[in-house]
Structure formats: C-alpha cells, structure tokens
Amino acid sequence: MKLVYLLAMAVGVSTLSSCGAKKKLLQAENRYSSLDSAYRALQNDLAACEDSSEAYKRQIGSLQQDLTEKKISNDRMVDQLERMSVISNSQAESIQKSLENISGKDAYIRDLQSAISRKDSLTMNLVMNLKGAIGNLDDQDINIKVDKGVVYIDISDKLLFKSGDYKLTGRAPEVLGKVAKVLANQPHIEFMVEGHTDNVPYHQGVLLDNWDLSVKRATTIVRVLQTEYGIPPARMTAAGRSEYVPVATNDTGEGRAANRRTRIVILPELDQFFKLLERS
C-alpha cells in the first residue's frame, strides 16, 4: 500500500514536472516569436531607413549639381554684366566725345558764318565803292559783278588798248585811276589782273599769239597800277587767259568785242578761313 502510494506520488510529481516544462517551453516559444517579429520589424525599418538615406543622398547630390550649375550660370551673368558695364562706359565716353565734338563744330560753324557774313558785308561795301567811284562811265564797257563771293571788274579793251596792241589809250588813266583809288583804300585786298582776247589769230614782233598778247596787256595794267597809283606789287598778280575763257560767242563782232577785256579779280581773303580750319 505504501509502495502504491509512493508510485502514485512519483507519477504525480512527474506529471507536474512535465506540465511545468511544457508551460515554460510554450512561454519561450511565444517570447521567441515576439522577438522574431520585433527583429523582422526592425529589419524592415532599417531597410526603409536605408532606402530613405539613399533617396536623401540622391536628392542631396541633385541639389549639389543644381547649385553647381547655378553658380556657373551666376558667374556667367556676372561676366556678362561686367562686359555690359564696360560697353556702357565706352558708349558713354563716346557719346560725351560726340557731344563735345558737336559743341565744337557748332562754335566752328558760328565762327565761319560770322566770317562769311563779315566778308559778304565787306564785299558789298567794295562793290558799292567801285560803282560809286566809276560813276558815269558806260556800264557796257565796265561791268562789276559778284559771283560766289568773288568780285569781278570787267573793263572793255576799247577803254584801255588799241586793237591788237598792249599800249594804253589816252582814256585808260581815267578808268584805271578810279579803280585804283578804291583798291588803294582797301590795303588788305589782293587782286589778279587777267588779260582776255578773242579768237582771231595774233602775231606781232616778239608776241607770238593771243597768249602773249593777253599776258602783255595784264602786265601793262599791273605796272601802271604800281608805278602811277602806288599799289604795292605784292598785292597784285598778272595773268593771261588768251581766248579760252570767253563771255560771248566769237562768231560775231559784238561777241569778239565783249571777249576782248581786262578782268580784275578781287581775291577772297582765305587766311581767315585757314585760321578757322586750324582751330577746328
């Protein structure tokens, strides 16, 4: 009986021990399963973090590339702005110089206009004095005109010379004296005496043709103005134009008579204009 009791106790203890082991095993399995789930969740979170990290790395790389490109673009813009600034400064200097040139040219033009106006005034005064001095002489034999600012005095040869000759007539001193009086009162004036002929062939003594005759007549006038009326020779020029600058046709007697003339050309005062050009 006692033996049976002991056996029953042993079986009971064994059963209890077996139940306790199973319980612990179950608890361990549950804990393992929980830890495994947590581990797998952590693995998933880690993978997600790694993916996010790569995405962030790619985003950072893209941003760095954009930043580099923008820096290069900004550098280019700075260079362009600097070049534009240089061009603008150059243009400003050019415009300033142009304005200064325009101002200078404007003053130069005003000076020229003033000189031209003064010259025109002196020219008209000279013409009026000449016409007043000549007075009652035949207008057909003496013609005073202004052409392009130059004063011309045309004197018919019948008032000064005999036909085909270079010696003065008796009436010549009256004509030359009146012209010389006006020219003497204008000491700044220089003039040229031109001899003109018609186209009739000429040869006499040492004079071979109309060239020689026209020059000889001009030198005769110049010599008289110098010796008889005191005109300084430095103010005078003698020239022969022969038959080659006619004022009328040589086909008629009247035309040939008009072409036989002595012309006094009042030379323009170019020194004033040269001085103005030097100033420019």
**One-letter identity of residue 244:** Y
Q: Residue 210: what pLDDT?
A: 96
Token pair listed for 78: 């700075």
The answer to whether 162 touches 222, Cβ cutoff 8 Å, is: no
The answer to whether 266 touches 191, Cβ cutoff 8 Å, is: yes
Token pair listed for 219: 């030198």
Mean pLDDT for back-to-back runs of 10 residues, the chain (280 residues) = 50 54 72 66 54 57 69 67 60 68 66 65 75 68 85 91 90 91 88 96 93 97 95 96 96 94 84 54
DSSP state letter for 163: T
Token pair listed for 105: 């040219």
Q: Residue 4: what pLDDT?
A: 47
Alpha helical stretches, state H, 135-171: none
SS3 276: helix
What residues form DSSP beta bridges with 195?
240, 262
From the number of C-beta atoms within 10 Å of its C-beta (0-12, 13-18, 19+), residue 87 rates as exposed
Distance CA 62, CA 18 (A): 65
Distance CA 271, CA 119 (A): 12
State the number of CA atoms in the 13 A half-sphere of 116 facing the CB.
8
Distance CA 193, CA 178 (A): 16
With 0.85 as the threshold, say if the pTM is over it.
Answer: no
CA distances from 156 to 19, 51, 220, 236 (A): 168, 120, 15, 20
Ramachandran bin of 71, using left for φ above 0, alpha for ψ from -120 to 50, beta for the remaining angles = alpha
The answer to whether 247 touches 155, Cβ cutoff 8 Å, is: no
- Torsion, CA 123, CA 124, CA 125, CA 130, rounded to 10: 90
Q: Residue 220: what pLDDT?
A: 96
Q: Residue 77: what pLDDT?
A: 64
Distance CA 201, CA 243 (A): 10
Q: Residue 18: what pLDDT?
A: 57
Distance CA 263, CA 237 (A): 12
Domains of the chain by start residue, with CATH = 135-268 (3.30.1330.60)
Token pair listed for 90: 């150059």
Residue in the block written with tokens 């495994």: 36
